[in-house]
Amino acid sequence: MKSRLLTSWVFLTFFGLILFGFCLWGTGCTSHITVPAVPPPAMTNTWTATNTVTGTPVNPTPTSTATNSPTLTPSNTPGTPGIFTPTSTATNTATLTPSNTPGIPTNTPTPSPTNTITPSPTNTVTYTPTLTPTQTPTSTTTITPTLTSTSTPTPTGTWYTNTPTITPTSSFTNCLTMTFTCTACCTPTATYCAKTYMSGTITYSGSGTVDGIHPIVVSGGFGLLGASVTVNGGTYVIGTCLPGVYYLAVNYYFNSWQMIGMRYSNGGSFSYR
């Protein structure tokens, strides 16, 4: 650019000087030539620069660390791109309908050809001697301990074993029948007879209660079979085999078998001759 400007300036200067000589040489120039001033042309410089940078571009090293806030949940850490490896196994829970259970093939292959094995030689087992069951199982029951019947004290003298059978009858004849079964040396007594009986009722009109522990008792002395009643107004039956006169006494146990408080009365006489 500079060289071009320099060349232009030299050319113009030279051409001016020539024109000035002509003027001076021709004097004949009868008149002045007025040359208007010509302003120099505007100079316009144009240039183009081309920078060529060589080398390996280097990424700038970050000097600060940006922190994301808030912290995202979940905090996923990006993995290294690569081949995706599944870490879980999905299980299908849907049940297929119908649920067919694979069966077992039931085809039985038929071997073919059919082999027939014939063992040879044939073994024969012979038991010697021949056992014959001859025992019949029996059961034996043993009771332990063995019961022993003992009597205390030990009876002395002649021992009779009688089993009386008492047969009371609702329609009295003359006695109670007592049948003895004699199992030893004894003289059986076929009948126990109370010859005469007397019966009636006993009624207590006091403040007590006649029951099992507050009975009314009838007695008449030796030889008289007495009686007691446990229900007010109950029936008594007394009897005797011995002739005589008996004076009856009636006692009511006001205090449950205690003598104190007992009521007493002479209820009459009962004679047998």
Q: Which residues bind another protein (CB under 8 A)?
A: 166, 168-176, 193-208, 216, 218, 225, 227-229, 234-239, 248, 250, 252, 254-255, 258-265, 267-268, 270
CA distance 250 to 215: 10
Least distance between another protein and beta carbon 153 (Å): 25
CA distance 123 to 45: 133
Least distance between another protein and beta carbon 194 (Å): 8
Q: Is the separation of the CB atoms in 240 and 224 below 8 Å? A: yes
Question: Which residue in the block uniquely carries the two structure tokens 């600060």?
Answer: 64
Residues in the chain: 273
Least distance between another protein and beta carbon 171 (Å): 6
When computed from its CA atoms, the radius of gyration of the chain, rounded to whole angstroms, is 79
Q: Read off φ and ψ for residue 192, nearest 5 degrees.
A: -105, 120
> Nearer to another protein by C-beta: 7 or 269?
269
Least distance between another protein and beta carbon 200 (Å): 4
> Nearer to another protein by C-beta: 15 or 264?
264
- Other CB atoms within a 10 A radius of the CB of residue 253 amount to 20
CA distance 263 to 259: 9
Q: Nearest Cα to 213, choosing from 257, 249, 262, 261?
A: 257
Least distance between another protein and beta carbon 265 (Å): 4
